[in-house]
Amino acid sequence: MAAGGLVEFHYVSMSGLALIAIAWYLQYSKMSKGQMEASRDFAIFQAAGIALLIIDGIMSGLYDLAAMNLITCGGALLVLSKAKK
């Protein structure tokens, strides 16, 4: 909570979550067209969104959360390394 009882809005986290939502929309769109493997676009947007969550976690002093997001970002980057162009 911020001063005055207002809820603090985390723009970096919201931006990261928006990128992750876009990633899932792009993946769903490709799967609807019959492409069942993970796409590069999905992995790129996913990793970028998670990177923003890591940054926000560090800025907020939530180092355990940032560390867990770092692990999931590593997973997204592994998918990216295997995804077809």
Q: Strand, coil or helix: what is 16?
A: helix
- Using the Cα atoms of residue 20, residue 78, residue 72 and residue 51 in order, give the sign of their dihedral: negative
pLDDT at residue 39 above 90?
no
Rounded Cα distance, 78 and 66, in Å: 18
The domain limits of the chain are 10-82
Q: Is 63 exposed, middle or buried (0-12, 13-18, 19+ CB in 10 A)?
A: exposed
pTM over 0.85? The answer is no
pLDDT tens figures, 57-69? 999 899 999 999 9
